[in-house]
Amino acid sequence: MFQRIVERQVHQGFAAISRGDFDTLLKQFSPQVHFSFAGDHAMGGEFHHRETVRQWFQRIKRIFPGLEITAQQVVVSGMPWDMQVVTKFQVRDMLADGTLYRNQGVQMMRIRWGQVVEDHLLEDTQYLVNTLGRLAGMGVSEASAPPLKDAA
């Protein structure tokens, strides 16, 4: 039963990101979450504060304004006090030059008593970095920005 609830929440969370509704999503995150996105690029980083994660999501929407994220497979294990969630997902966006950006990735998440305490994301990094370079060439300056940092 818990697994089905979490699986539904994952789908709803990706839909919230796609809509740009980060408040709904971030209510599920612990204030001291461990969040990471692999790579040394504008989307990369490792954060430990929910507010930095909010800034990261806002940056993603500025770089990829039409971003759509869908969960293709969700695997949940454990009990409510310590659940592990692994999700295979797909991202899509139509870029300004009319080309379709499509990438896939994996999310590994830990949830304790309904709060996300760890969230680690990995996409096809080389493809993402190449796309960020193209976007920077099209005038999306934030696509070439350094990774965000947690506030001290």
pTM recorded for the entire structure: 0.92
Burial-class residue 72 by CB neighbours within 10 Å (0-12, 13-18, 19+). exposed
Number of domains in the chain: 1
> Which pLDDT score, from 0 to 100, does residue 152 have?
57
Q: Which of 118, 124, 119 is nearest to 104 (CA)?
A: 124
> Which pLDDT score, from 0 to 100, does residue 1 have?
72
Domain membership of residue 145 (yes or no) is: no
Domain membership of residue 78 (yes or no) is: yes
For residue range 98-136, what is the model confidence (pLDDT) as tens digits? 999 999 999 999 999 999 999 999 999 999 999 999 999
Residue ranges of the chain with pLDDT lower than 50? none
Listed as own residue / partner, the contacts of 100-104 with beta carbons closer than 8 Å and 24 or more positions apart are: 101/64, 101/131, 103/127, 103/128, 103/131, 104/72
Domain membership of residue 127 (yes or no) is: yes
Domain with 79 in it: 2-135
